[in-house]
Each structure stands twice: as C-alpha cells, then as structure tokens.
Structure 1
Amino acid sequence: MLQDSFSKVYTKFKMHFYQKMFEKLQERETSLTTVETFCMEIIYALDKPTVAQFADMANISSPNAAYKINNLVKKGYLKKVQSEEDKREYHLEVTQKYIDYYNISNTYLKTVMGRIEDRFSKEELETMERMLNVISAELMPEIKY
C-alpha cells in the first residue's frame, strides 16, 4: 500500500534524525529543547520569516513566539534582523550554529538522494521529481510556505 510505503520512508528519516540528536545530546553539543528544535525547523523552512509569520505558522500567540525567539537568540541559534523596508519589523535568520545542527538530518537526506539517483533511471527520477513537486505545490495547501 502506497500510504504504508510513504510512512515507512518518512519514519526512517525521522528515526535517523532522532538517533543523531541523541548522539549530540550525549556529547552535550546541543542546548536545544525539543520544542525549540521544532521552532527552529519552522523558522528555517519559512526562510527569514517575521515574528508574526512564525507565530502564525506555529499557531502560537505573538507573546509566546517572542519568548521562544528570545531564548533561541540567547542560545545563539537565531538572530533578529531589522527590515530595511519597515524598521518596526524584524526577520528571523538562523545562525551558522543552527546550520551545523540542521546538517545532522540534511546530510542523511543527501546520502539517500545519492542512492536514489544511483538506483533509478533518469525517467524514473523525473517522474519522482514531478510527483513530489505536485504533492508540495498542490496537495498540501495547509502549509503555506
């Protein structure tokens, strides 16, 4: 069943990420809580959102978002950059510290993608890319980024 197959792949990506996260926790190389990790993933995916955009996507209040953002700034994973167009507005930018942290899962994604490219034909890869683009652009309207 397609749903089961997709779920297995998605779960394997998550499990690999969790394994690597626990390794980092054992080595004391990270100071992010689970909720902060989710916040950072949202901010990174939104690509320099405003505080309001982050709060909207996370479905949390602006004061709650500001609290979480301030903690992430203090920990060095995030910076607030004043907008050139509207000086009252700030955009959230991830730091190199977070990029290094994020690469835990991104490296595995690149490994799996290399294996996919080695395993499947050019036509199959084009079909897969087309399908993924349709899924992202058309079939997941709840996610607006």
Structure 2
Amino acid sequence: MENIEQMSQEINELKQKYDSVIQKLDNIEKENQNKEVYIKQTQDNFETINNTMKELMEKINSMVEDKEANKMFNNSNKNDFSFKDRIASPMKKFTVKTIGTVFTMADYASEKMAYAKESLEDIVAEAQYESKKKRATVMSNSHS
C-alpha cells in the first residue's frame, strides 16, 4: 500500500513538473511571437527607409543631371563661381555620403535582425524538441 502511495505521489510530482514545463514553453512561444512581430516591424521600417533613400538618391541624381545639362547649355564664364558651384556641389557630396552611410547601416541592421530571428527560431525549435523528448520519456516511463 505504501508503494502505491509513493508512486501516486511521484506521478503527481511528474504531472506538476510537466505542467510547469508546458507553461514555460507556452511563455517562450508567446515571447517568440512578440519578438517575431517586432522583428517584422523593424524589417518593414528598414525597407521603408531603403525605399525612401532610393527615392532621394534618384531625385539627387536627377538634380545633378539637370545641373550638368544646364552647364552644357549655359555659356557662362568658367571663372564665375556661382552658388551652385560653391555650395550645391559640396552639399551633394555630403548628402550622397550620408545617404550611403544610412544604406550601409540599414543593411547591417537588417542583417542583424534576420540573424536574431533565425537564432530565436532555433531556440524555440530546440525547446520544443526538448519538451517532446521529456514528454515521450514521461509517457514511456508511465506505461512501464
């Protein structure tokens, strides 16, 4: 009789541990879903930034092309330094470098976000595997 009570107590303890593991796994899955949403939103934001930067680059290139076309048709004296020559050209170079840096940062951040997402998915998959393995062990021990 004492043996049956001990086994019953052990089964109850195992059930409690199993419920605890399942609850922890559920919490991990919820956290994973929240992180996936955050990662997706961040990726969308970087995609928007990339598209905006592309549009800006196209506009800048268009302005530069217009400037170069105006120079060809303008018979002004080469010694006459205009506002465009003194200010616009250096500003363009600065703007291009700044936008290039933003592109680099966006690509880097996007790459890191993808890596974080992949790592998180690996962790969840491993946790699910461990949970199934424990569940199978508990089930096989209870049938013995």
Normalised to the residue count of structure 1, the TM-score between the two structures is 0.26
Max Rg structure: 2
Choose between structure 1 and 2: higher strand proportion: 1
Where relative contact order (Cα < 8 A, 6+ residues apart) is larger, the structure is 2
Question: What TM-score, normalized to structure 2?
Answer: 0.26
